[in-house]
Amino acid sequence: MNHEAYLQAAERHCVARGSKLTTLRRRVLELVLRHQGVVKAYQVLADLQQERGVTAPPTVYRALDFLVEHGLLHRVEALNGFIVCDHFECQHEGLILVCEDCGSVEEIDATAGLSALRMASQSVGFALSPQNLVLAGHCKACHL
């Protein structure tokens, strides 16, 4: 899906949830879409400041939080950044595959595999939170 089609779908998704993709939220999403792979909040802030001048960091953080809350982005804690969710509001736990060479990111459904980890954790009385796991390696293009 191209960026414009994604943005239009994102707007419809927010409206369906009773929210609005404001001009600022849309611009933050556009800036994230411009980057390949994991995007750090400070990158988005720097891009926005380049366009608009002084921009308060909380403004960007609130927009990013909104986009995560509405399933448009995933927060990747292990990499301290964000990735675009291609299929809004994932109802699965995933593996986030990060290429160490080119930085590309791919998300795959790992619910079945993570359920084994969840059961093993439960056997010792530990309750796992829903999460995505990050695995580093080499994508198909870089591995060849």
Q: Is 66 helix (H, G, I), strand (E, B) or coil?
A: helix
90 labeled part of a ligand binding site: no
102 labeled part of a ligand binding site: yes
14 labeled part of a ligand binding site: no
Task: Using alpha carbons, select from 72, 42, 75, 77 the residue that is nearest to residue 60.
Answer: 42
85-117: buried (b, 16+ CB within 10 Å) or exposed (e) per residue?
beebebeebbbbbbbeeeebbebeebeeebeee
142 labeled part of a ligand binding site: yes
Q: Which residues are annotated as a binding site for Zn(2+)?
A: 99, 102, 139, 142
Q: Which residues are annotated as a binding site?
A: 99, 102, 139, 142
